Chain A
Amino acid sequence: MGMRKKRMTWLILKYILLSVVSFFTLLPMIWMVSTSLEPDKGLESYSLIPKEITFSNYPEAWNYPRLYDEDVTLGTMFKNSIIVSSVITLLSLLFDSMAGYALARKNFPGRTLMFWLALSTLMVPFYVVVIPMYIITMKLGLLNTLTGLIIPFVSSGFGVFLFRQAFISIPLELEEAARIDGAGDFYIYWKIMLPLIKPTIATMAIFKILWSWNMFFWPLLVIQDYSKMPINLGLTMFRGQFVTRWGLLTAGMVIATIPIIVMFLVLQKWFIRGLTAGALKG
């Protein structure tokens, strides 16, 4: 009986501690949402629980700033982010899995070297290559374009490695049977192998979407025009202009965060996998 009582006390203590910490962990997010729902009144007014709720910050932020070009708004930037994220994700899934398939299943001279080359890219920190990357992008005439934003990231050594591991674990018989029936390599890769590694595809897709939606340094270097900015870069540009209009700024931030949160709540299990897969990177 005493044991049980002790356990109950511990459980209650744990609940209290966890609740307090969770509250503080979520506080910045809660504050962001509640500020975005408050009418703009200047610096004095922002409390945790809004006294008066308005949704007008949202349409206003969505249609901001129309500075140099009447048509360029936060909505444009949201659209840019969707384009950049989807193209990076789709192309890198395709390219990484193609290379992963060849490394796992084909026997060709130079295969070991190719494998080590893919692994060696993991040792190269982004900030070490960023200056020549910028110069190359400039010489290709891709500065200030969405293509320039996308192209360096449409494949990764990490992805090639992950797909190779996935393909290696599939039994050879499946492939051989298809080969006897006269199937070519691309058919086997596309119709037989890819459907068998759906979990890896999903894991990698989430990892890539999250990463490309949230990327910041490269867009900061490459993009100058508001009309081509992804939303996260756009928000930092707005920061200066609406520093006293927190309602508008926080509404913009909520808009930039909603796709990620919704995806997370729907695909929780895959999210966790995608993020722990990143740990293999080291």
Chain B
Amino acid sequence: MKKRMKKKLKDTIISYLFCFPAYSVFAVFIFIPIVWAFVLSFTDYSLLTFGESKFVGFDNYIRLFKDPVFLKSLLNTLYYSVLYVPATLIIGFLFALMLNDDFPGRNFFRLAMFIPVIISMVVASIVWMLILSAHPTSLANRFLALFGIPPQGWLSDPKLAMISVAVVMVWKTFGYKMLLYLAAMQNIPQELYEAAEIDGATGWKKTMYITIPLLKPTTFFLLVTSVIDSFQIFTPIYIMTGGGPGYATTTIVNYLYQKGFQEFEMGYASAISYILFLILLVLTFIQKKGFGKEELY
């Protein structure tokens, strides 16, 4: 009896030793920070005053909803999301459809669409920044010149800047969406298509009535994760426009960066981060609920 107890104790200790390295990182860099960020959002913590802070109640949150730049950044993020999400999903889906059946050269095309996915966001952003430069000799403007259209300030015109960012991000990510759609298409039983062919269904009908409905779970998953990603866009905007012109492309995370790490108002920035957290939690909740339903039928 005593021996068994001892063995059990030893087993428990060993198990926790195995968990120790991973979980101590979680504790220090995730669990403590998530609570701390919440606490900070009710203080006026600032690095400029060497971390001295006092409790300010809901002041940061009240200030946020009166802060025109923050409200603009919310709208900008939403605008970006609306531009980016449908485009990347639809384009990803269309190319998955085209590259699903076997034909010579298929792998080359898949590869080509996949290259933007793996290169770094920084490199992609700098390349596009040079291509979309307002200078008449930039690649984009020379392309327009072929059709006699005058040079545009792709990233410096407030009307165009966010659209340009969305185009770059669609370019960067549609290959990934394509890949997930292709993986899901592999799982559609071939017999379904064969049965439909016997019934005289054409390619178009097969897509409409078999492929698209059966890919609904994938579409739903990609839709929610893309919206979640789009709400956290930072790097391409930081590099290509710096949030400008004016505040035309400042998004939630760009504003968080500006407040927290350029102006060092970390209490205020924590309030921004918790609003973002709330938005993302709602989206994740929708995703979990939607997935539960899919599994039922």
B-binding residues in A (CB < 8 A): 11, 14-15, 17-18, 21-22, 25-29, 31-32, 35, 43-44, 46, 48, 94-96, 98-99, 101-103, 106-109, 111, 114, 117-118, 121, 123-136, 151-152, 154-155, 157, 159-160, 185, 189, 210, 213-214, 216-217, 220-221, 232-233, 235-236, 239, 246, 249-250, 253, 256-257, 260-261, 264, 268, 271-272, 275-276, 279, 282
Contacts and interface: CB of A to CB of B under 8 A. Distances in A.
A155 B260 contact: no
B23 A99 contact: yes
A202 to B, nearest CB: 16
Contact of A232 (B105, B120, B253, B287): B120
A275 B117 contact: yes
B25 A128 contact: no
A256 B120 contact: yes
A273 to B, nearest CB: 10
A236 B124 contact: no
8 contacts: A14-B103, A25-B113, A95-B25, A118-B26, A128-B34, A246-B130, A257-B123, A276-B180
B126 A189 contact: no
Contact of B34 (A94, A95, A124, A275): A124
Contacts of B112: 22, 25-26
Nearest to B105: A15
B277 A157 contact: no
A33 to B, nearest CB: 10
Given A31-B131, A106-B18, A236-B122, A25 B25 contact: no
B98 A279 contact: no
Contacts of A109: 12
Contact of A235 (B126, B234, B281): B126
B287 A131 contact: no
A87 B294 CA distance: 40
The 10 A-B pairs of least Cβ separation, nearest first, read: A132-B33, A129-B33, A102-B18, A155-B22, A132-B36, A214-B120, A22-B112, A108-B15, A99-B22, A152-B29
Given A17-B98, A260-B120, A136 B29 contact: yes
Contacts, number: 233
Given A256-B123, A260-B120, A282-B224, A131 B276 contact: no
Given A21-B95, A43-B135, A123 B21 contact: no
A193 B176 CA distance: 32
A194 to B, nearest CB: 13
Contacts of A18: 98-99, 105, 109
Interface stretch (B154-162, B207-215, B265-273): B265-273
B115 A25 contact: yes
B81 to A, nearest CB: 15
Given A132-B36, A136-B28, A102 B19 contact: yes
Interface of B: 11-12, 14-16, 18-19, 21-23, 25-26, 28-34, 36-37, 40, 51, 95, 98-99, 103, 105, 108-109, 111-113, 115-124, 126-131, 135, 137, 139, 171, 175-176, 179-180, 183, 221, 224-225, 228, 232, 234-235, 238-239, 253, 256-257, 260-261, 266, 269-270, 273-274, 276-277, 280-281, 284, 287
A135 B266 contact: yes
Contacts of B37: 128-129, 131-132
Nearest to B18: A102
Contact of A22 (B113, B232, B284): B113
Most chain B CB within a 10 A radius of its CB, from A154, A232, A282: A282
A205 to B, nearest CB: 15
Contacts of A210: 118
Contacts of B281: 123
Contacts of A26: 112, 115
Nearest to B116: A25
B34 A129 contact: yes
Contact of A99 (B19, B29, B137, B274): B19
Given A25-B171, A128-B34, A157 B26 contact: yes
A282 B123 contact: no
B268 to A, nearest CB: 10
A272 B179 contact: yes
Contacts of A155: 21-23, 25-26
B49 to A, nearest CB: 13
Residue in B16, B99, B135 with the greatest tally of chain A CB atoms within 10 Å: B16
B122 A98 contact: no
Contacts of A131: 33, 37, 40, 260, 266, 269-270, 273
A11 B103 contact: yes
